[in-house]
Structure formats: structure tokens, C-alpha cells
């Protein structure tokens, strides 16, 4: 996991700052590609061949094939995992290990700039990773659609919606011991039970509600609308609005806690 102790500055041209940012180009695109592609092959081809043979599954899935159903889930979960990871160890590194945030705090920038800068960086990473997955998906007729393009943006938003609340937790954390727990008890369960790889309706109602609290399912539903061409615009607005609430609340709390840590 790469460490990012510094963030792009609040400046007239964040892209200009980023251009100096060698790590952007060094970052391992391949690794963020391998995992979704493995799932695509394993689930899409393996499980998919079973599912598609089961008459009536099309009605439950609402798509022509299982692979088509899984595509938006792959995009959005890729961004979720990346957003979560980027807001754990790198944030602790900025505060405690390399202490880069303290260096920035001594400049005219403040806690808000640091949080927004890191959020921008995470959004860009999520967008790049999701784009890479989308490009590969566009190579195959079964998974190709114009809906991949807006789905990349949805994935980016979901990535940030996980990153910001987790960042708020990371800023307050004394040690990095909680990070594997977040992975095991939040990220992986949502990956499995968040509606990415089968319809939530297959789960008990109680579990469905828990899954719907998190932003993942909302993003997957919207992205699936785009990739299948069945877009319900009021639904899109509602779901994305809910995801955005996580972003806004997480950012507000992270900023307050960051200020408390850096300016004591």
C-alpha cells in the first residue's frame, strides 16, 4: 500500500500541483486492475454460466446475463476498496509517521485544505482505477456499454463516500490496529452482501436494510441503471444524493478532527 503523506494543495490549478506528483504515475494501476478482473472471470464466467442456465434468473437479475449484472458491481467495489484503503494508513502516516500534515499545517494552508486535498487525491485515484476497469470491460461485447462512462463517475463518488468517514476515524485513531478491522467488518462484508454480485432481494430483509445504510448499494444500483440502459432519473438523484450525504458528513467530521489534531 503506497503512503501518501502530502496532498495536492488548494490552488488555482490542482492539476498543476498533481503534475509534480510523481507518485501519481508510479501508482500501481495493474494491481487495481487485477482484482476486479479476477472477480470478473471467476464470478462472471464461472458462476455466470451456472446462473444463466437457471431459467428465470434473468427476471430476478433484470439483465440479459449474469456478467452484465456484475459489471457495475465490479466498478463500484473497486473504488470502494481503494477509497477505504487510501483513507486509513496514508492518513495516519500524515499525522503520525511521516507527519507530512504537520508540515502543511505550518503553511498558509489549514486542516480543511488538507482534508479536501486528500479527498481530491482519492477521487482522482478512484476515477483512474475505475476507468482502467471500464476500459477493459469495454473490450468485450458482453460487458461493453456507454453506461460505463457515467458509472466511472458513480464509482468515484462511492469511493470518496467511503474514504471520508473512514478518514474521520483514522484521524482520531491512536494506532493502526483498527484498520484491518474496518476491512474485515465493513469493507469485505459490504463487498459480499452489498448488492454488488447478486440482488439484495436474495437476502433477509434485515440484512437488506443494513446493506442499504452504506453508500455501496446505492452506487451500484445507479451504475447498473447506466450500464443496462434502464435509467430511472429520480432514483439516480435520490441514490446519489444519499451517497453525497456520506461525503459531506464525513468531510465535515474529518475536517473538525483534523483541526483538533494539527492545531492544538
Partner 1 sequence: MPEPLIVAHQLVKRFGDFTAVDGIDVQVQPGEVFGFLGPNGAGKSSTMRMIGCVSPVTSGSLRLFGLDPATHGAKIRARIGVVPQLDTLDTELSVQENLWLYGRFFDLPRAEAKRRAVELLEFAQLSDRADSVVDNLSGGMKRRLSIARSLINNPELLLLDEPTTGLDPQARHVLWDRLYRLKQEGVTQVLTTHYMDEAEQLCDRLVVMDHGRIVAEGSPRSLIEQWSTREVLELRFPAGTNDTNAAQLAGIGERQELLPDRVLVYAHDGEAALVEAHARGLQPESALVRRASLEDVFLLLTGRSLAD
DSSP summary character for residue 64: S
Q: What is d(CA 136, CA 24) in angstroms, rounded to the nearest whole number?
A: 20
- In the range 63-102, which residues lie near partner 1 by CB under 8 A? 98-102
Rounded to an integer, what distance in angstroms lies between the CA atom of residue 50 and that of residue 53? 5
Neighbours of 62 (CB within 10 A): 13
Distance CA 179, CA 193 (A): 20
Choose between 101 and 217: whose C-beta lies nearer to partner 1: 101
> In this structure, what are the phi and psi dihedrals at residue 56, rounded to the nearest 5 degrees?
95, -15
Question: With respect to partner 1, which residue has the nearer C-beta, 212 or 261?
Answer: 261
HSE-up (13 A, CA, CB side) for residue 30: 1
Give the C-alpha separation, 180 to 160, whole Å.
Answer: 19
174 binds partner 1 per the rule CB under 8 A: no
Q: Which is nearer to partner 1, 52 or 176 (by Cβ)?
A: 176
Look at residue 9 and give its three-state secondary structure: coil
Under the criterion CB under 8 A, does residue 103 sit at the interface with partner 1?
A: yes
- Return the number of the residue (131 or 170) whose C-beta is nearest partner 1: 170
- Please select the residue that binds partner 1; options are 30, 59, 106, 181, rule is CB under 8 A: 106
Q: Rule CB under 8 A: choose which of 56, 175, 233, 263 binds partner 1.
A: 263
For residue 205, the tally of other CB atoms under 10 A from its CB is 8
Q: One symbol per residue from 7 to 46: x for binding partner 1 (CB under 8 A), - otherwise; what is it?
A: --x-x----xx--xxxx-----------------------
139 lies in the site for partner 1, by CB under 8 A: no
Instruction: Give the residue from 122, 124, 101 showing the smallest Cα distance to 112.
Output: 101
Q: How far is the CB of 86 from partner 1 (least distance, A)?
A: 15
Among 5, 131, 227, 255, binds partner 1 (CB under 8 A): 5
Binding site for partner 1 (CB under 8 A): 2-3, 5-6, 9, 11, 16-17, 20-23, 98-110, 262-264
Amino acid at each position: 500500500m503506497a503512503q501518501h503523506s502530502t496532498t495536492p494543495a488548494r490552488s488555482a490549478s490542482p492539476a498543476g500541483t498533481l503534475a509534480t506528483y510523481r507518485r501519481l504515475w508510479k501508482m500501481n494501476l495493474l494491481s487495481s486492475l487485477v482484482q476486479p478482473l479476477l472477480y470478473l472471470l471467476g464470478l462472471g464466467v464461472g458462476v455466470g454460466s451456472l446462473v444463466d442456465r437457471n431459467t428465470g434468473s434473468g427476471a430476478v437479475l433484470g439483465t440479459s446475463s449474469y456478467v452484465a449484472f456484475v459489471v457495475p458491481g465490479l466498478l463500484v467495489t473497486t473504488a470502494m476498496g481503494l477509497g477505504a484503503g487510501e483513507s486509513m494508513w496514508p492518513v495516519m502516516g500524515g499525522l503520525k509517521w511521516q507527519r507530512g500534515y504537520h508540515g502543511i499545517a505550518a503553511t498558509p494552508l489549514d486542516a480543511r485544505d488538507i482534508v479536501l486535498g486528500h479527498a481530491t487525491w482519492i477521487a482522482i485515484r478512484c476515477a483512474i482505477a475505475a476507468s482502467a476497469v471500464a476500459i477493459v470491460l469495454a473490450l468485450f461485447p458482453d460487458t461493453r456499454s456507454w453506461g460505463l462512462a457515467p458509472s466511472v463517475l458513480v464509482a468515484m463518488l462511492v469511493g470518496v463516500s467511503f474514504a471520508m468517514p473512514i478518514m474521520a476515524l483514522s484521524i482520531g485513531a491512536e494506532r493502526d490496529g483498527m484498520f484491518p478491522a474496518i476491512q474485515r467488518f465493513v469493507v469485505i462484508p459490504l463487498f459480499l452482501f452489498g448488492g454488488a454480485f447478486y440482488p439484495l432481494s436474495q437476502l433477509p430483509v434485515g440484512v437488506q436494510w443494513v446493506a442499504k445504510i452504506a453508500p455501496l448499494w446505492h452506487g451500484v444500483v445507479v451504475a447498473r441503471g447506466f450500464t443496462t440502459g434502464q435509467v430511472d432519473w429520480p432514483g439516480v438523484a435520490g441514490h446519489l444524493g444519499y451517497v453525497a450525504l456520506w461525503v459531506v458528513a464525513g468531510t465535515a467530521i474529518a475536517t473538525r478532527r483534523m483541526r483538533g489534531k494539527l492545531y492544538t
